[in-house]
Structure 1
Amino acid sequence: MDGNGRWAKQRGLPRVAGHRKGIEAAREIVRAAGELGIEVLTLYAFSSENWSRPADEIADLMNLLRRFIRKELDALAREGIRIRVIGDYRAFDADVVELIDNAVERTKNNGLATLVVALNYGSQFEIASAARTIAEDVAAGRLTADAVDGAAIEERLETHGLPPLDLLIRTSGEKRLSNFLLWQAAYAELLFTDTLWPDFGGEALAEAVAEFGRRERRFGGL
């Protein structure tokens, strides 16, 4: 979800205004994904690299996260959406961690769709953590070296149990993955759009899904 700051700058507004508008876009995309029958939607909300931003911007982002959970949780729970979080969100303030834990616990039995939110997430760290766990299991005799394969790694990723990633969308014209779902995106279709995230609505998502449907996926075959 890239482009909040540029959206605000184009309008002579503070960056937090762009983030607020980005929250509105996220709400719209969650609704649109449900209408399109999307089983799992993952939003990259806060990367492990975002800590390098100014302290006041981080504080604004945390306040927006608080407001989003408090405002949207009832509706998400009522609509049967399960919330799942990937990333080390326990590095956040205690009250934010409590809100996230409550949201995950309250919706854990919902089965209509899953909203995955990446918070303090970095894919390289995720993969390294999976490798570290495998090394520990091999050293302890719980796993043999010959048994280490792609499935063994996937079982130790934070996305374990979720279906394979089909489509990865990046907004704002940037054409890189920026440490997001690197392993999971191995055979995903990638779509880069110049649209800034606050302007990316339900119609844009529907167009992206339609583009995905027109692509031929061969997974390395002919």
Structure 2
Amino acid sequence: MLYLVATPIGNLGDMSFRAIEVLKSVDLIASEDSRHSSILLNHYEISKPQTALNNYNERKVAPKLIERMKRGETIALISDAGTPGISDPGYLLVRLALDEGIDVQAIPGPSAGVMALTISGLPMHSYLFKGFPPVKEGPRKRFLAMDAESGHTMVFYESPYRLLAFLDNALEVFGDRRAALANDLTKKFEKVLRGNLSEIKEWVQEEKIRGEYVICIEGLSKDELRKQKD
């Protein structure tokens, strides 16, 4: 059995009772970084062995975890924050488990992208989760242009080191659309900035930025989509 257990994105109080129960019941916890996850596990008095599964070792570690589950062990996968596999390691392990007929269950919980979208003030009836864009400018602009004529709200993650470059490219590709920028969600100094991309860019230029950001950008309106068809 493989459990995908969502963990808090900042506030430890967001850990669900079911998630705690599952983590206390499994044989092994596969975590992105044991130093980080140990803070959470110690807080809830969860004493289980951990093994590292991250972007650097997933191809090597995942098959070994599959063999353990085939022998009857139960394993929980957690990421540093949020839902495993969403812009985090986990896809390969899930795919291999399903291919081997291993039961996979998700224990729902926090997701920074969904939370940012729900408080963005942008349309939520349909959206595209895009995750982290490419690091280099050329591929990043092509990545953004893929959905420039979409009617869906787009949700991106970005690091503080590339946030300004991302906003420059977004303005160039999308124009000055409505957007929302979220940081430190669920934490004491949670911040959500809503406005046009140019306004958000101006704020970023003036502020000290840190931590990862979620950027939500509005898609084309129904009228704009209609004009495309005409």
* TM-score (normalizing by structure 2): 0.27
Q: Which of 1 and 2 has greater Rg?
A: 2
Greater RCO (Cα-Cα under 8 Å, separation 6 or more): 1
